[in-house]
Structure 1
Amino acid sequence: MMFTYAPAPESRSIVNIKPSYGLFINGSFVDGGSAFKTINPANEEVLAEVAEATKEDVDRAVKAARAAFKTWSKLPGKERAKYLFRIARIIQERSRELAVLESLDNGKPIKESRDVDVPLVAAHFFYYAGWADKLNHAGFGANPRPLGVAGQIIPWNFPLLMLAWKIAPALACGNTVVLKPAETTPLSALLFAEICQQADLPPGVVNIVTGAGATGAALVDHPDVDKVAFTGSTDVGRHIAKAVAGTKKKVTLELGGKAANIIFEDAPIDQAVEGIVNGIFFNQGHVCCAGSRLLVQESIYDTLLESLKRRMGTLRVGDPLDKNTDIGAINSQDQLKRIKALAKIGSEEGAEAWSPPCELPRNGFWFRPTIFTGVSQAHRIAREEIFGPVLSVLTFRTPAEAIEKANNTPYGLSAGIWTEKGSRILDMADKLRAGVVWANTFNKFDPASPFGGYKESGYGREGGRHGLEAYLAV
């Protein structure tokens, strides 16, 4: 039986979006260079104009962070923790506002930003607040010291969550921050700047400079930045690695992925299907650790595929602010073009595309959830990160074949295993070259658990005790 759902839109009146935003430097909003527009990808409505930081603006922000570091780094850990706890509580108090703004600017469904993103943001600040006065016991020596000024660049797929992953451990360790959000999703970072003001965070401890690639390059190249943290594409990560080579800057890179989601014949089919859907269609597939390669044991291929198609037929694509929506808008026109181009290549190379029937809105950037069958490891859709709601389905016969196919990728960020045998889970996890391996689940995150990859998925870890090391001189 198919249910129909009446529209259940979340009100956007809780968010007061200003016509224009400046840069957040030294505790205040200041004018920047030229302005660019940020739009709602669901309907192409202009939300606000945002200042584009120049090289000189970045220099001002770094100088403010350097000046603030002198006092912030000398505060006792328990005093820094008070600020982090305060920020976490304000995030919880303003959670609905943050969730609506994130969905407007990013295009993700409100039930994801409300129930996943924002709660995890607060959880990360609470978690690292707890570490601020315990750094001597983190396992990095008796007297770990902060690095100094951290230049941080975050992507558009989880704007507020990536901000928390970067800023919370940096501040807990006594560093100060200059952060650049993605040019298509700057608004939640600018609201976070207001939260820093509300929390009475000392001026200069957190600075936010908006802009595109040139702004990020100016931050990476600045001689007074001690640490660079980047989450984004592998191509940009390579440029950053080259830029900091030969300098004393520490760097962590969390880059692309092409995760294998491996389904064995003894897996619970319905549970596995939910994991597959969550693994690739969560956040429109805009997830670096998305389970974009499905490896199915041959004996259950037909049964699982039938169940997966039936489940995909229930997915609701549409208004991100509708509480019933499962799949929202693609973040930008450029990303939609890339998804369409790679999907076309998949068909041209002989794979068979299938999508459930669904009506897409006329305005905005949309792509139906799609699966490709008849995929080989030579297909580009099985090798390249599409970063959209597109799943490539492959088969295997033995665990050894599954491991070989799963590891046959330049990436190494995540993987999933579905089986009732605990011994098989442990054996597979040991052999999979992936930073995170989920067992009978997918896309589960916890502030206490480290996250990161191998090979072209980057290096360094974020989250957990391991995430402190990236911001300490040890």
Structure 2
Amino acid sequence: MQDVTHDELLARAKALDPPVHHHIDGTGEAGGGASFAVVSPRDGQVLAEVADAGRAEVGLAVAAARRAFDSGPWPRLAPADRGRVLLRIADLLEERREELALTVSLEMGKPITDAYAIELRAAITTFRWYGQLADKLTDESPHTAPDSLALVAREPAGVVGAVVPWNFPLTLASWKVAPALAAGCTVVLKPSEWSPLSALLLGRIGTEAGLPPGVLNVVTGDGPTAGSALGLHPDVDVLAFTGSTAVGRHFLRYAADSNLKRVWLELGGKSPNIILPDAPDLQKAAATAAWGIFFNQGEMCTAPSRLLVHSSVADQVTDAVVDRARQLRVGDPLDPATEMGALAREGHLARVLGHVATGVDEGARLRTGGARARAESGGSFLQPTVFDRVDPAMRLAREEIFGPVLSVLTFDDLDEAVRLANATEYGLAAGLWTSDLSTAHTVSRALKAGTVWVNCYEEGDLTVPFGGTKQSGNGRDKSAHALEKYTELKTTWIQL
């Protein structure tokens, strides 16, 4: 994307013709009379009118997935054959990478360079990785008595309902869809109503790649209607959700009120990023802290929104973060030079500004930012924002803001740092900067988080699992462990 100008990208964006109908049973023409507007946060303009799923449309999608699982070929294909289809999906995502990146950038405000280089890379890599893994899994034959044979087989779990958010619409959809398909399940995907266009494209690409009808269905609509219909449907065997903790509670209730479907949740976070005086490179630690909170406009569940800095280096680190925040280029998401784009919606911007106002009222010091940016564009932009002198009891330090707002807290010793880090209802991720190997191990073990990054942040690949503890959810995306969510273990005991 570096060789493409802003004007060229604007022209290509105008030429996009995104799908607007549900993708059900292998066709992209499904849809009723109801629709809703998809609004771009870059300028507040309507991108498309998209089909709005009610319970009837969700029911059609689940019925298609049920038929495809119970009597279709997909669960019965050799794993290598399923893998080849997933690899074909990855190839088609690569072929249409620019179109998909433009769609993501338009629908949720992500800078086009990030959409192309990070979001699409993650989606392509995910389908390719699970495509290659599909025929590498093995069943078990435990050693038993000489007159018995025990077999433990891993079988596809059935129909999977996948509900994903708007902040990484293709990445998070891929994290659910690819392992579910590799396991032999069929899927009904419901993207966020804020970012449905890229998911609809994914559904059509799946069919083009060779997925049989009904194996991957995409329905668009809101959570209270389409999401609840999927969560309550008795023919959905597994529900995989990424989003807020509040909505995650709803899905647990839906499971209890329907068929006790398994529910896997990746929820919110208030991740601590601990910088000790012996960090290998304090400037790098500060630069990474700034990158982590402002990347994707801070709209990440893993965002290191609590910077915990030892008091002896707090001023040095905080000043460096503030300097970086002031230099950051906030601009049109379709401009390749933009470093931070628009927040996903006007209402979300208002919510984040409400947190900023609360922080000021509670007595935290606003070092930079805190106001709307680029108001003349009609988009929902916010200045990169940094608070220091934050008390652990303040809402800034306790509540997930999901925006480019950093809270700096200080500590005097390691025990206090760990207490502050763990003083949250969330447990998704954490960062630690130290040169001491023993400290790296002991603090990593003491932190209540699903992932701990040492002397880095947001690093990793498909080989490692991702997920949280406490109210950040359960289960894991990525890695071979993700298949545990979409498979059932069956024991066969044979008396010889």
Q: TM-score range by the shorter chain?
A: over 0.9
1:24 aligns with 2:38: no
Give the aligned residue type for 1:462: D
Could you say if the C-alpha distance between residues 253 and 207 of structure 1 is closer, same or farther in structure 2, counting changes exceeding 3 Å?
same
Indicate the SS of the match to 2:468: coil
Show the 5 A alignment for 1:173-192: 173-192=183-202
Could you say if the C-alpha distance between residues 296 and 54 of structure 1 is closer, same or farther in structure 2, counting changes exceeding 3 Å?
same
1:433 aligns with 2:444: no
Give the aligned residue type for 1:244: A
Q: How far 1:56 moved relative to its partner?
A: 0.8
Indicate the SS of the match to 1:178: strand
Which of the numbers 237, 240, 262 marks the counterpart of 2:248?
237
1:11 aligns with 2:24: no
Structure number with larger C-alpha Rg: 2
1:332 aligns with 2:345: yes
Distance 1:77 1:388 in 2: 41
Distance 1:223 1:137 in 2: 29
Give the aligned residue type for 2:26: G
Counterpart residue number, 1:74: 76
**Larger CA deviation: 418-427 vs 146-155:** 418-427
1:296 aligns with 2:306: no
Distance 1:339 1:238 in 2: 23
Indicate the SS of the match to 1:257: coil
1:403/1:431 contact within 8 Å kept: yes
Could you say if the C-alpha distance between residues 142 and 134 of structure 1 is closer, same or farther in structure 2, counting changes exceeding 3 Å?
farther
Q: How far 1:172 moved relative to its partner?
A: 0.1
Distance 2:260 2:380 in 1: 42
Which of the numbers 357, 366, 374 marks the counterpart of 1:360?
374
Q: How far 1:186 moved relative to its partner?
A: 0.5
Percentage of matched positions with identical amino acids: 45
TM-score in terms of structure 1 length: 0.95
Q: How far 1:241 moved relative to its partner?
A: 1.0
Q: How far 1:40 moved relative to its partner?
A: 1.0
1:318/1:361 contact within 8 Å kept: no
Indicate the SS of the match to 1:21: coil
1:403/1:428 contact within 8 Å kept: yes
State the Cα deviation string for residues 142-195 of structure 1 (Å, max 9, x = none).
410001100110001000111100100000000000000000100100111221
Q: How far 1:17 moved relative to its partner?
A: 3.4
1:124/1:447 contact within 8 Å kept: yes
State the Cα deviation string for residues 25-78 of structure 1 (Å, max 9, x = none).
001021234100001101011110000111011111011111111321111101
Distance 2:413 2:471 in 1: 27
State the Cα deviation string for residues 406-448 of structure 1 (Å, max 9, x = none).
0000000000001122221111110000001111111224122
TM-score in terms of structure 2 length: 0.91
Show the 5 A alignment for 1:6-405: 8=6, 11-14=9-12, 16-18=15-17, 21-29=20-28, 30-69=30-69, 70=71, 71-136=73-138, 142-213=152-223, 214-245=225-256, 247-267=259-279, 268-355=281-368, 360-362=374-376, 363-405=378-420
Give the aligned residue type for 1:53: A
Distance 2:480 2:382 in 1: 38
Indicate the SS of the match to 2:452: strand
Give the aligned residue type for 1:11: L
Could you say if the C-alpha distance between residues 139 and 296 of structure 1 is closer, same or farther in structure 2, counting changes exceeding 3 Å?
farther
Indicate the SS of the match to 1:261: strand
Q: How far 1:134 moved relative to its partner?
A: 2.3
2:86/2:182 contact within 8 Å kept: yes
**Larger CA deviation: 167-176 vs 86-95:** 86-95
Distance 1:401 1:233 in 2: 28
Q: How far 1:135 moved relative to its partner?
A: 2.6
Could you say if the C-alpha distance between residues 27 and 12 of structure 1 is closer, same or farther in structure 2, counting changes exceeding 3 Å?
farther
Q: How far 1:20 moved relative to its partner?
A: 6.3
Q: How far 1:359 moved relative to its partner?
A: 5.4
1:316/1:326 contact within 8 Å kept: yes
1:412/1:433 contact within 8 Å kept: yes
Q: How far 1:13 moved relative to its partner?
A: 4.2
Distance 1:265 1:7 in 2: 43
Counterpart residue number, 1:442: 457
2:123/2:174 contact within 8 Å kept: yes
Give the aligned residue type for 2:474: Y
Distance 1:233 1:303 in 2: 34
**Larger CA deviation: 454-463 vs 133-142:** 133-142
1:346/1:381 contact within 8 Å kept: yes
Indicate the SS of the match to 2:426: coil
Counterpart residue number, 2:492: none
State the Cα deviation string for residues 286-317 of structure 1 (Å, max 9, x = none).
00010000000000011111211222221000
2:430/2:452 contact within 8 Å kept: yes
